Amino acid sequence: MPQEKSRFVVSPDWLQDHLNDPAIRVVDASWYLPAQKRDPKAEYAAGHIPGAVFYDQDLIADLNSGLPHTIPSVEAFADAVGKLGISDTNTIVVYDGPGIFSAPRVWWLLRTFGVKDVFVLDGGLDGWKAQGRPLSTDTPTPAPAVFHADFDATAVTSFEAMKGIVDDGSRQIADARGAGRFSGEEPEPRAGMRSGHMPGAKNLPSSIFSENGHLKPLDDLKTIIENAGIDLQKPVTTTCGSGVTAAIIMLSLQSLGHTDNTLYDGSWSEWGSRADTSVITGKD
């Protein structure tokens, strides 16, 4: 008997069957770290899921924050997404190359800005290609749509709020960076940042939530989170390097029905580059 999967992922079969549905919007949200040596725009131009628009996570952001892909203003987000032909009433399927890497960030953003029906493509574009499914090199020119944003500010943790959480332990902290960066044994990929983690944080490397680009079944997600020392009956704030892979933990938590969760948008790009923050090293 197949194990139960997240209600927030859709299969390649489902998406291919619905590609011509006028209510569906498909979004390529691919973004990569320099070490991955992949160019998302070039890959999109070389072949994407038919009808998919490219969501540039570096540009649909607050470019004045000094941090990478910070959440933009409500007005800027609504304008940018509307120009991609996306309405808040559409059913939106987001994908990336590997499957469960950068797509959950845009899934989380769309939900945070009020979209009800948004999903992540299980297996990503790499899996889609491996199965010989249709691709397009045409760049869509969608008619602009009206996106009515209903921003949930409670889903986002600010720097000041994060300092308070670290000081008083009022929320559990789940860090999605790899174990080496979390412990301080590996350097951060961005210059000028200390390695290590926030006091009290638990390490849940983002890669452990998926296998071959597919989000793991719910029972496995629950085991992963609990084995890391996170109590699913208590509030959680997620963090990572720059706010992208923290959304993988958000996807997993919400898939399990956990509702009291927030994402620290500045993440380690902010915390690790400041002189007034506490940083500890080691595995705990």
CATH classification of the domain holding 26 = 3.40.250.10
Domain limit, last residue, from 102, 119, 151: 151
In tens, the pLDDT along 62-112 reads 999 999 999 999 999 999 999 999 999 999 999 999 999 999 999 999 999
Whether the predicted pLDDT of 283 surpasses 90? no
Q: Are residues 78 and 117 in the same domain?
A: yes
Same domain for 111 and 17:
yes
In a domain, 277, yes or no: no
- 193 shares its domain with 138: no
Same domain, 50 and 173: no
Average pLDDT score over residue span 171-186: 96
Q: What is the pLDDT of residue 1?
A: 61
Contact 83, 93 (CB under 8 A): no
Q: Tell me, what DSSP letter sits at residue 71?
A: -
Look at residue 199 and tell me whether its pLDDT is greater than 80: yes
pLDDT at residue 29 greater than cutoff 90 = yes
Helix axes 246-255, 103-112, angle to 10 degrees: 60
pLDDT at position 154, please? 97
Residues 51 and 158 in one domain: no
278: pLDDT strictly greater than 80: yes
CA distances from residue 75 to 20, 106, 141, 158 in whole angstroms, order as listed: 30, 17, 22, 19
Task: Give the pLDDT mean for 204-226.
Answer: 98
The per-residue pLDDT of the chain, averaged, comes to 96
| 147 and 158 within one domain | no
- One domain, residues 54 and 114: yes
Check whether residue 161 and residue 124 sit in a common domain.
no
Structural domain includes residue 34: yes
Of all residues in the chain, the percent with pLDDT exceeding 70 is 100
What pLDDT score does 230 carry? Answer: 98
> Are 203 and 143 contained in the same domain?
no
Q: Do 23 and 79 reside in the same domain of the chain?
A: yes
Strand partners for 92: 25, 118
Query: What is the spatial distance between Cα 102 and Cα 80, in angstroms, rounded to a whole number?
Result: 18
- Smallest Cα–Cα separation from 51: which of 142, 145, 144? 142
Residue 276: inside a domain: no
Catalytic-labelled residue, pool 106, 174, 240, 248: 240
Same domain, 36 and 113: yes
> Is residue 284 included in any domain, yes or no?
no
Residue 233 DSSP one-character state? T
Is residue 3 one of the residues assigned to a domain?
no
Asked if pLDDT for residue 2 goes beyond 80, the answer is no
Domain boundary, last residue among 151, 185, 219 = 151
Residue 118: closest CA among 261, 257, 254, 262: 254
**pTM, 2 dp:** 0.97
Give the confidence band of 58 by pLDDT, cuts at 50, 70, 90.
Answer: very high
Q: For the chain, how many structural domains are there in total?
A: 2
Does residue 173 belong to any structural domain of this protein?
yes
Where would I find the H helices in the chain? 12-18, 40-46, 74-83, 103-112, 124-130, 159-168, 179-183, 218-227, 246-255, 267-271
- Mean pLDDT throughout 18-32? 97
Return the C-alpha torsion angle 123, 86, 118, 268, nearest 10.
Answer: 80
If asked whether residues 80 and 165 sit together in one domain, one would say: no
pLDDT reading at 35 higher than 90? no
Reply yes or no on whether 240 is catalytic.
yes
N-term to C-term CA, the chain: 37
Does residue 2 lie in a domain region? no
Last residue of a domain, one of 151, 171, 200: 151
Domain that holds residue 249: 154-271
What pLDDT shows up at residue 192? Answer: 77
